């Protein structure tokens, strides 16, 4: 497998040596990192000055038809594992979930949340068919490490910050149609209209329908559901108001409604060669989902003075997830029934952003309050009800202070977060209350660092930061399969301390960008899937490991050659280890953390010809790793993608783009998740070779 991966990387490198006429790609221009402000870092920091390993993907690139979900956009980044579909990404060996089921059953918030226009998605499972729109995006930011002081939410391992395009004061629109050889087809549109010079509206709609790339038999199920059907409908509207009689005031209102249904992406129990489920107790039966989600948000921005801006926002997200009743009876007696989770998430935040006040180069000071309610149920053999509540209040600040008197170009970074975290969980089955837990914790998380700008092209920096996540209850929803009572296992809070050093430089008259980041972190009482086991089913459960460490290196480059030819690459090296084990965990000592591949790498080439033709090629490598402690090792994989297209103008004046994209060119079968359970091995397989053709018209 490794030799095959090396040969494919070598093939791509050979492609990169072909003359420019052999390639084409989008006409997008590279970012100017010196002026690009990171929207997700509320401090107003430009990308070149970020104090954590943050990368940014341009909205046009992120909105490419090649990307079906957020995983597709961010995979290939150094030390980012984003290929499991139904689970949020892992960054630097820090599993966002902390376990295979905790976000849905244990009440934990993701270690690495996905935030869309600053609104957090409720959990991975509540959005697992497709996490968010990939059409009409502005930017996608991948932040690594704790984000306690400038993202708003406290996160342990990073954040995926997605921003859709806001309304603008000019007429524009777009329509896209696509079809692929996996029998999926879809339509998307965008319409932006100014209403005078103070109000603007933007509407975005998407519809897609087709079949899963896993052949989920039997078809149809006894309940009448076709287990292969996938369907997505999404509408988003934004209203921007900038009143002329109140200079500096901006109001943005948005609403988004999504309905998504289909099998859990990529889960299978059957023939790996033809991706067909041939039977088994698990199969596709337990994982046909219907998701309804509505988001409302409002944002106020007011420029108080040239140095101070006030921002306030409020959001509410309602999410209903149902694992549908398939009507099947397993083992002649076990009825899965329907399992559902309703989540309501409200969040309010107010912060002040400062810049150029004496030695204060920039700063942010804010308060955020989050309340999340959950009600869950099963009406089959398991028969349980679960309720939960999370209430979190945080006061955060971060400041960059000029130290030019010590050394020109030197900046000190100081910040911190005080947080109160309250959680309540209660699990009830037919016998009464099975388990109940109240968790109330307060924590202070400091952040310090420095940055030194050697000149306008080169900078160095160091950052120390901390992250925190509260405890909860992990529910054994599968115990009923074995005739046991549903039970829950309590786990405690965890903290993470991280040191990071970085360097960035631009060379060759601005044509070559180089970056390097080294980091070390220590996990204390890390919540690890497989650190405990449920008594009835024997399945891995979420437990605390006293100490684990991680260290690594991230390298990246982008070379903008002449005539529109661009090369880019990323390399992530990672070493994790459980260094201290608790009672009954002696076998864990020395093991790697789950979802922590030692090597991730990508190399790509893009070219935009003057006549409108464009093409791209990329290869991504992920080394072997595990999904959970003491679980089967997942083999390494190398996936190669290629694309080609043509931009031109219609006689009527509209811009037109025709493109074709091939994902997984060599059709490599690759496992992305594998975990043993009481009913067999649960696995997830990545998408096979998929050819997509699309047409996009802009007007």
Tell me the per-residue pLDDT of 59-90, one tens digit each, with 9 for 90 and over. Answer: 888 888 888 888 888 988 999 998 776 677 89
Give, in degrees to the nearest 5, the angle at Cα 679 between 677 and 682.
55
Q: Which CATH number belongs to the domain containing residue 281 in this structure?
A: 2.40.170.20
pLDDT at res. 482: 58
Summarised one tens digit per residue, pLDDT across range 305-318 is 999 999 999 999 99
Summarised one tens digit per residue, pLDDT across range 497-542 is 999 999 999 999 989 999 999 999 999 999 887 788 877 777 777 8
pLDDT at res. 432: 72
Low-confidence winner among 213-217, 226-230, 446-450, 599-603 (lowest mean pLDDT): 213-217
Summarised one tens digit per residue, pLDDT across range 444-454 is 999 999 999 99
What does the pLDDT average to over 580-590? 89
Tokens coding 525: 């009482």
Tokens coding 263: 């099998």
User: Which among 3-12, 150-159, 276-285, 443-452 has the top mean pLDDT?
Assistant: 443-452
> How far apart are the C-alpha atoms of 356 and 385, rounded to whole Å?
54
Cα four-point dihedral sign 649, 650, 654, 656 = negative
pLDDT interval class at 628 (50, 70, 90):
confident
The chain-wide mean pLDDT, for the chain, equals 85
Summarised one tens digit per residue, pLDDT across range 90-147 is 999 998 876 555 455 556 678 888 899 999 887 655 444 556 778 999 999 999 999 9
What does the pLDDT average to over 470-479? 74
> How far apart are the C-alpha atoms of 386 and 298, rounded to whole Å?
31
Q: Give 264's Cβ-side CA count (13 Å radius).
A: 24
621 DSSP β-pair partners: 601, 638
Please indicate, yes or no, whether the overall pTM of this predicted structure exceeds 0.75: yes
Instruction: Give the Cβ contact number of residue 468 at 10 Å.
Output: 22
Eight-class DSSP state of 360? E
Is a pLDDT exceeding 90 seen at residue 554? yes
Residue with tokens 């999404």: 234
pLDDT at res. 32: 54
Low-confidence winner among 121-135, 149-163, 282-296, 603-617 (lowest mean pLDDT): 121-135
Is a pLDDT exceeding 80 seen at residue 349? yes
Summarised one tens digit per residue, pLDDT across range 350-389 is 999 999 999 999 999 999 999 999 888 888 877 778 888 8
What does the pLDDT average to over 452-463? 93
Q: Which residues lie below 8 Å from residue 196, measured CB to CB, with a gap of 6+?
A: none
Tokens coding 676: 């043993």
What does the pLDDT average to over 677-698? 84
Low-confidence winner among 248-257, 391-400, 468-477 (lowest mean pLDDT): 468-477
> Containing domain of residue 658, as a range?
2-698
Find the helix or strand (DSSP H, E) in which 5 lies.
helix 2-16
> How far apart are the C-alpha atoms of 649 and 498, rounded to whole Å?
51
pLDDT at res. 48: 75
CB 236 within 8 A of CB 258: no
Q: What separation in angstroms does the CA of 480 have from each of 173, 262, 380, 382, 475? A: 52, 25, 9, 5, 12
> How far apart are the C-alpha atoms of 110 and 121, rounded to whole Å?
9
> How far apart are the C-alpha atoms of 354 and 450, rounded to whole Å?
18
> How far apart are the C-alpha atoms of 46 and 453, rounded to whole Å?
14
Domain tally for the chain?
1
């Amino acid at each position: 497998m490794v030799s095959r991966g090396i040969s494919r990387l070598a093939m791509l490198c050979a492609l990169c040596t072909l003359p420019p006429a052999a390639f084409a790609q989008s006409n997008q221009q590279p970012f100017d990192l010196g002026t690009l402000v990171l929207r997700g870092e509320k401090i107003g920091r430009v990308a070149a000055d970020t104090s954590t390993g943050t990368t940014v993907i341009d909205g046009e690139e992120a909105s490419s038809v090649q990307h079906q979900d957020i995983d597709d956009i961010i995979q290939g980044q150094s030390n980012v594992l984003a290929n499991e579909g139904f689970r949020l990404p892992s960054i630097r060996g820090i599993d966002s979930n902390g376990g295979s089921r905790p976000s849905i059953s244990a009440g934990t918030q993701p270690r690495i949340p996905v935030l869309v226009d600053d609104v957090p998605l409720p959990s991975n499972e509540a959005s697992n068919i497709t996490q968010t729109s990939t059409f009409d995006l502005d930017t996608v930011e991948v932040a690594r490490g704790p984000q306690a002081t400038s993202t708003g939410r406290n996160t342990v391992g990073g954040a995926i910050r997605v921003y859709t395009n806001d309304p603008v004061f000019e007429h524009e629109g777009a329509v896209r149609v696509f079809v692929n050889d996996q029998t999926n087809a879809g339509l998307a549109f965008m319409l932006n209209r100014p209403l005078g010079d103070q109000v603007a509206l933007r509407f975005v709609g998407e519809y897609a329908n087709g079949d899963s790339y896993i052949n989920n038999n039997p078809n149809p199920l006894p309940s009448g559901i076709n287990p292969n059907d996938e369907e997505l409908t999404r509408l988003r509207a934004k209203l921007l108001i900038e009143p002329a009689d109140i200079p500096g005031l901006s109001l943005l209102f948005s609403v988004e409604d999504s309905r998504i249904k289909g099998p859990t992406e990529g889960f299978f129990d059957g023939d790996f060669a033809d991706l067909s489920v041939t039977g088994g107790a698990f199969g596709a039966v337990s994982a046909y989902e219907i998701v309804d989600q509505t988001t409302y948000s409002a944002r106020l921005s007011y420029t108080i003075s040239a140095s101070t801006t006030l921002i306030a926002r409020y959001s509410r997200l309602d999410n209903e997830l149902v694992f549908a009743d398939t009507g099947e009876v397993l083992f002649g007696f076990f009825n899965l029934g329907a399992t559902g989770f309703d989540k309501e998430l409200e969040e309010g935040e107010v912060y002040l952003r400062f810049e150029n006040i004496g030695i204060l180069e920039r700063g942010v000071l804010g308060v955020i309050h989050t309340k999340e309610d959950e009600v869950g149920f099963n009406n089959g053999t398991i028969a349980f009800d679960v309720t939960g509540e999370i209430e979190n209040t945080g006061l955060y600040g971060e400041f960059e202070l000029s130290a030019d008197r010590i050394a020109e170009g030197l900046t000190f970074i100081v910040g911190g977060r005080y947080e109160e975290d309250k959680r309540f969980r209660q699990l009830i089955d037919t016998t009464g209350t099975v388990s109940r837990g109240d968790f109330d914790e307060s924590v202070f998380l400091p952040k310090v660092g420095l940055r030194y700008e050697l000149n306008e092209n080169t900078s160095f920096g160091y950052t120390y930061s901390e992250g925190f996540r509260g405890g909860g209850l992990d529910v054994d929803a599968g115990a009923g399969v074995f005739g046991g009572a549903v039970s829950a296992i309590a786990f405690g809070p965890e903290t993470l301390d991280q040191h990071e050093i970085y360097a960035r430089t631009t060379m060759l008259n601005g044509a070559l960008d180089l970056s390097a980041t080294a980091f070390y972190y220590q996990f204390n009482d890390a919540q690890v899937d497989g650190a405990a086991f449920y008594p009835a089913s024997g399945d891995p459960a979420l437990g605390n490991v006293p100490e684990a460490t991680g260290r690594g290196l991230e390298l990246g480059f982008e070379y903008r050659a002449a005539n529109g030819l661009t090369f880019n690459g990323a390399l992530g090296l990672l070493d994790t280890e459980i260094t201290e084990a608790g009672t009954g965990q002696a076998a864990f000592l020395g093991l790697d953390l789950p979802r922590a591949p030692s090597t991730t790498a990508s190399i790509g080439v893009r070219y935009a010809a003057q006549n409108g033709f464009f093409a791209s090629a990329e290869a991504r490598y992920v080394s072997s790793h595990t999904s959970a402690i003491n679980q089967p090792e997942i083999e390494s994989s190398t996936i190669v993608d290629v694309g080609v297209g043509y931009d031109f103008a219609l006689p009527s004046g509209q811009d037109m783009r025709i493109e074709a994209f091939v994902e997984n060119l060599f059709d490599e079968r690759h496992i992305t998740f594998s975990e043993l359970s009481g009913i067999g091995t649960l696995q997830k397989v990545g998408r096979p070779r998929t050819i997509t053709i699309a047409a996009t018209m802009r007007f």
